Amino acid sequence: MRIAKVLKYWKMVIFISMAVVFYSLAVWLVARSAQYLSNIETAALIASFTAIVTGILALLKEALWSWVKSPRLAIKFYPYDKRDCMTLTFNITQKGPYGQPVEIKAPGQYFRLRVYNLGLGTAEDVEVTLEEVQRLEKGNYIIDSEFMQLRLFWSHWKQTRYELSIPSGVYRHCDLGFIVHPDYDNKVSPPKDEGRLQFWFEVIVRPTAGRTSLLPGTYKIKVSAFGRNASKVMKTLEFEWKGEWDDKLDQMLDKHFIPKAGFESGRAAEEL
């Protein structure tokens, strides 16, 4: 944890180090020249070098300070943290056979990513995108062309915000996807494909063409996060999805939705 806090301020350390180096270089140059100069000339040289260095730092201050304060995003997935992966109940209202509203309560399991801001400045208008899906075929990962780039929902903000600000030292949850109990899968989500249980990505728009769900298989998925003032970062997750259900989430992760690479182990730390 201490190392993480030190790394958070590494840009500021570089900024201060640059100032120290510039002033030290000026002092060294004056010291080397002092033996050939009078006291008045030495004092004038010191003043000149100090003014030059200060001027250079002043000209670069805005750019350097903007670089120092820039946000730095990181995507993490803690499958064994109950705040990130949880069992819940979907409450869906649909029309009955005579047009009357019918409420469906379906057990489900939800999977969420964390988007951290490890920089010093606030990351503005951050969005998260499902960039690519690769499926393991005969020992090689092949890009699944049925998937297109689609944005994911921020948790608890579905109806109001598609972009969020993330202050320094804070994370926001993003909904990656969900699994619905097989008895309800064709009611809460579009009908099952080939009769097999699917993992549904929680995308903002489900296009009529292509796919937004995973059939059983082994996959690599790429997810990105970026903002108006934050550079794009990528996260690759590799997992096996067997298309089966277990009421206990730990058993699901051990037997049916099996993390392989790119996941964090254990629970998330309470602070950055």
Maximum average pLDDT range among 17-21, 75-79, 180-184: 75-79
What domains can you pick out in the chain, each with its CATH number?
A: 2-69 (no CATH), 73-261 (2.60.40)
Distances in whole angstroms, Cα of residue 212 to Cα of each of 6, 106, 171, 172, 193: 40, 20, 26, 23, 12
Range in 42-46, 79-83, 177-181, 215-219 the model is least confident about: 42-46
Which tokens go with 210?
A: 């292509």
Q: What is the residue-averaged pLDDT of the chain?
A: 81
| pTM (2 d.p.) | 0.73
- The pLDDT of 102-113, averaged and rounded, is 86
Indicate if the alpha-carbon torsion angle 99, 105, 106, 109 is positive or negative: positive
Which tokens go with 22?
A: 């510039």
Question: Residue 144: which of 131, 158, 126 has the closest Cα?
Answer: 131
pLDDT of 5 higher than 60: no
DSSP calls for 123-187: EEEEEEEEEEEEEEETTEEEE-TT---EEBPBTT-TTT-SSEEE-TT-EEEEEEEEEE-TTTHHH
Range in 17-31, 172-186, 240-254 the model is least confident about: 17-31
Q: Please list the residues that pair with 166 across neighbouring strands.
A: 123
